[in-house]
Structure 1
Amino acid sequence: MASSTVRPDAEDRPPEDHLTRRLLESAATLAYDPATEVDWDTPLDKEFHGASPEWSTLYGTAYWSELTEAQRKELTRQEAASVASTGIWFEMILQQMVLRDVYAKDPTSADVQWALTEIAEECRHSIMFARGAQKLGAPAYRPRRFAVELGRAFKTLAFGEAAYAAILVAEEVLDVMQRDWMRDERVVPFVRTINNIHVVEESRHMKFARAETRRHLSGAGPVRRRINALVIAIASYVIVTSMVNKDVYTHAGLDGKRARDEAKANEHHKSMMRSSCSGLMDFLASAGLLTKPALVFYKRAHLI
């Protein structure tokens, strides 16, 4: 009898409600507590990389070929810590945008309860990234002041598809890197665990961001679509170019100016970024968000 009374309500629910209920069920059955899942107590083993070396900004350059294995490993540890620190910065932006989106909405709805669940997961991720960067022996890398102030404006003003598509870009770019790192036995084990936790839980966040982007775009006119396509592209450019802080090279004991120059011209790294983001670009194209002005910024960020 109970099931017969539930079915009509379930059939009447909007598609997004079905999605958020599935995401809530997934979070209830497949979630991690980084405080206990990650091995925080074992001292850092410097025989390991911090990330897959192929993802280093210097991999394939003349400078990379001159580095000792110890220097390469220290560089990847600093780069991984920088990516984690950038992740914390953007997760703070994300949490505020999502919370603002559900403010004053029905808290008994699956949408609001999923949004709060996502925020809770992002809070745990930020703490996990902070502890991971600290264990890697890195300082607190922060984006340049210009990016911080743009982020402050973006989290305050962005709404609808602009907010959710930018969230999606940041999550997907990080996701493709971490899928490689978590499977790579050259990467220090605790970082592999961190990456695995993030990949599993972020897969839910990306499903939601894609669905919300499409839902908001369904009511967008051509002018709004073009404006927000450019806003999303600029936000994406700032996020991606902030991932590896310019100070990682000096903290790794390298010649900072030479390293920055060679990293900037590194075609291997640009190719890695483009190939890993092909699925993301396909989605943005299908959503009508790859306008000519937007493409300028995606190309500058080497995402296409």
Structure 2
Amino acid sequence: MTATVPVRTPTRATDRQELSTRLLGSAAKTSYDPTVDVDWDAPIPDDLYGLSPEWSSLYGTPLWDGLTEQQRVTLTIHEYCSISGVGIWFECLLMQLVLKDVYGDDPSQPHVQWALTEIADECRHSVMFARTAQTFGAPSYQPPPAILKLGKAFAARGSGPAAYAAILVAEEILDIFQRDLMRDERVQPLTRRTSQIHVVEEARHMRFARDEIARRTPHLSKWNLRRHRTLVAGVAAIVADNLVQPEVYASVGLDPAEAKAAARANEHYKAKLRDASAGLVSFLREVGLIGGPTELLWKRAGLV
């Protein structure tokens, strides 16, 4: 059930319609409906983490060491729900970007039908993540209002390689993160199942996004290339900083501001994000969407 089109792709684009046809065939063979493919009524074990403890933003810090085992379980559940909530926010942006990109195209073409299939997947994923937080009894975590406003502006104006690269930034980091979770028996069954569904279906989305980036970036002028580099670097910084919302830490009695500062300074967590971003960074460098002054933005975000 986990066979998918490989995510890693060369920087030279393939035929768009041929790839879309393949992705549509893969989706027909292996897709999920989380409303029936997730056991929402299963009990929530008291002793299993919401995510692998090594993926906690506080793992390895004095604040983590000071938590009881039950507090660590609670914290990781809320962290997973925060990351899922940010995932909902980004998937809403992704759907707008993809729909805008194919608006007016011939719907008989495979790439349009694939785009609509991808949007349908993202709708189901968003509902799945919302129900996950609800089932765990966690709040519906979202980025702060200022970030929501920036996201709305990007959805309205983003296009071309920057739009598809922004999709990759969020999805590829989550992909590595969730591949670890779905295999970890210390983690809640609900986390593992939702992660597995997301990994399988997002592999197709990332394959298409990479191909669109490889197809379009070579046609950018020098000025536009610099602009797209800046946009992508800005998105990367925002995504990395907003995965875990400060309110999460209050769930175990920590001061949100103090804990957020500790997470930002946590070398272990930053190393996990860099590792998760390694394939993405390598690809974006190869196609030219990382380079020049934007290298500093990626470093400041802790992703290189």
TM-score in terms of structure 1 length: 0.93
In 2, Cα distance between equivalents of 1:167 and 1:260: 25
Match of 2:205 in 1: 205
Aligned counterparts, 1:102-117, within 5 A = 102-117=102-117
- Residue 96 of structure 1: how far off its partner (Å): 0.5
- Residue 145 of structure 1: how far off its partner (Å): 1.3
For residues 74-119 of structure 1, the C-alpha deviation after alignment (integer angstroms, 9 at most, x for no partner) is 0000000000000000000000110011111000000000000000
Match of 1:4 in 2: none
Which secondary structure state, in structure 1, belongs to the residue aligned with residue 95 of structure 2? helix
Verify: 1:45 aligned to 2:45, yes or no.
yes
Match of 1:250 in 2: 250
In 2, Cα distance between equivalents of 1:300 and 1:94: 24
Match of 1:87 in 2: 87
Equivalent pairs counted in the alignment come to 291
Tell me: higher relative CO, structure 1 or 2? Use CA pairs within 8 A at least 6 residues apart: 2
Give the aligned residue type for 1:158.
G
In 2, Cα distance between equivalents of 1:118 and 1:289: 24
Match of 1:129 in 2: 129
**8 Å contact from structure 2 (residues 234, 297) kept in 1:** yes
Give the aligned residue type for 2:71.
Q
In 1, Cα distance between equivalents of 2:83 and 2:182: 14
Verify: 1:266 aligned to 2:292, yes or no.
no
- Residue 196 of structure 1: how far off its partner (Å): 0.2
In 2, Cα distance between equivalents of 1:82 and 1:292: 33
Match of 1:145 in 2: 145
Misfit runs of 4+, over 3 Å: none
Aligned counterparts, 1:1-304, within 5 A = 15-304=15-304
Match of 1:7 in 2: none
- Residue 225 of structure 1: how far off its partner (Å): 0.7
Match of 2:8 in 1: none
Which secondary structure state, in structure 2, belongs to the residue aligned with residue 218 of structure 1? helix
**8 Å contact from structure 1 (residues 78, 252) kept in 2:** no
In 1, Cα distance between equivalents of 2:112 and 2:297: 33
Give the aligned residue type for 1:135.
T
Give the aligned residue type for 1:146.
A
- Residue 261 of structure 1: how far off its partner (Å): 2.5
**8 Å contact from structure 1 (residues 50, 136) kept in 2:** no
In 2, Cα distance between equivalents of 1:296 and 1:279: 18
In 2, Cα distance between equivalents of 1:302 and 1:220: 27
| C-alpha RMSD over aligned residues | 1.1
Q: Please, which moves more after superposition, 201-210 or 138-147?
A: 138-147
Match of 1:9 in 2: none
**8 Å contact from structure 2 (residues 82, 244) kept in 1:** yes
Q: Which has the larger radius of gyration?
A: 1
Which secondary structure state, in structure 1, belongs to the residue aligned with residue 104 of structure 2? coil
**8 Å contact from structure 2 (residues 229, 290) kept in 1:** yes
In 2, Cα distance between equivalents of 1:24 and 1:140: 32
In 2, Cα distance between equivalents of 1:28 and 1:282: 31
- Residue 219 of structure 1: how far off its partner (Å): 1.4
In 2, Cα distance between equivalents of 1:94 and 1:267: 30
- Residue 43 of structure 1: how far off its partner (Å): 2.8
For residues 241-282 of structure 1, the C-alpha deviation after alignment (integer angstroms, 9 at most, x for no partner) is 111001000023323333223212111001111122111110
- Residue 37 of structure 1: how far off its partner (Å): 1.1
For residues 144-202 of structure 1, the C-alpha deviation after alignment (integer angstroms, 9 at most, x for no partner) is 11111110100000111010011011100111110001100011101100000000000
In 1, Cα distance between equivalents of 2:255 and 2:68: 14
Which secondary structure state, in structure 1, belongs to the residue aligned with residue 227 of structure 2? helix
Give the aligned residue type for 2:240.
V
Which secondary structure state, in structure 2, belongs to the residue aligned with residue 247 of structure 1? helix
In 2, Cα distance between equivalents of 1:195 and 1:29: 19
Q: Determine what percentage of the aligned residue pairs are the same residue.
A: 49
Q: Where does structure 1 lack aligned partners over 5 or more consecutive residues?
A: 1-13
Give the aligned residue type for 2:287.
A
**8 Å contact from structure 2 (residues 246, 257) kept in 1:** no
